Amino acid sequence: MLAWLRSDFRRINTALEFDVLSDDARRELLSALLDGVTLLSRVPSEPATEDDVLALHLRAGMLHAACTRHGVAPDDVRLRPCVDWLLEAERRWSLAPRFLALPYLFLNSAEDGWPITFLRSEAERQFIAANADGVAVYEMAWTLTSRIRDLGLTNPAVPSMLTELGRVLERLLHVHRGLQAVLDHDAYFQHVRHYYEAVTVDGRVLAGVNAGDQAWSMALDLALGLAQPHAEYEAYVRSRLPYMPPSHRDLVRQELAQSGWLDEMYRAASTVTWGHALAAAAVAVYDALVRATWAHVDLAVAFVDRGRGTSGTEMRFLEETVRMRRDHPGIARLRALTAAG
């Protein structure tokens, strides 16, 4: 099926998306698209790694998303084997029965110099590359945060580690700005983003494709102690859990059960002799995260300015994320320590 996805699937979608077609030509292309159902492998019954399952899930999810985009009815009998595949994967592996973002970004090898995409679209390739970079940065940031937490915030190495964490988060700023600079916003909005929209599976409306790549950023917000006082943000996090791979879902749930380190950071900075350096390094981390979030908002605003809505993340959620990351009273307390020092 991989060879088909890299060739006929992309060709069919591109023709359906861009070409002026007669009704007969369109029906012929849709029939060829639905022929991909016969290429699906069975849902693995033997033990398999999560990545193995996700790689197979990506194929069924992309086929289902493309059929939805091009008007195949959710109850079309020709699509039923694909729907059954996704439902069986949900039963066995707790994966949402729709196209998911994470394998699309990370289990998507560019064997022919191009990742598996819906379209032969530079905007789609840029979207994959930038989002994969962003998720990787969030993963590195959470991993470093977790290591700092394990060491204990009173460890004298922590200010230096926080400085490095700030540098990691600065990379997010460049990821968002880089995508803003090169992305053809109109091409992305008119053609690419529709493949990520809500789908209906057995009468259930399933949204949230982007949530599959948000686990690390959500885990980071929770670990840093930012999200816990914000009921709306926490509700959003919980609503997105079904769209994450199981291991990522477990990670976020573990962070939801903890309180984050903001209060502990303040106590440590108020106690140790290097408290001023500790507080300053911590504040720099939060400031770097806010700058990166503003860059994400700027990217979304580019769509609003064109009267096209946002790129898929609700502006309201982005604005709430900025406020949460910028205005937390715990950060103000740390900032006051740096001024007092």
Beta strand extents in the chain (DSSP E only): 199-201, 204-206
pLDDT at residue 213 above 80? no
Per CATH, the number for 122-340 is: 1.20.58.480
pLDDT digits (tens, 9 = 90+) for 12-33: 999 999 999 999 999 999 999 9
pLDDT at residue 158 above 50? yes
pLDDT at residue 311 above 50? no
Per-residue pLDDT, averaged over 147-172, amounts to 96
Sign of the CA dihedral with 186 first, then 192, 195, and 198 last: negative
Per-residue model confidence (pLDDT) at position 36: 96
Per-residue model confidence (pLDDT) at position 185: 81
Q: Are 36 and 1 in contact (CB under 8 A)?
A: yes
pLDDT at residue 211 above 90? no
pLDDT-based confidence at residue 318 (cuts at 50, 70, 90): confident
Per-residue pLDDT, averaged over 230-248, amounts to 87
- What residue ranges do the domains of the chain occupy? 2-98, 122-340
Nearest one of 294, 277, 290 to 334, comparing CA atoms: 277
DSSP one-letter string for 35-49: GGGGGPPPPP-S---
The single-letter DSSP state of residue 206 is: E
pLDDT-based confidence at residue 109 (cuts at 50, 70, 90): confident
| This prediction's pTM | 0.89
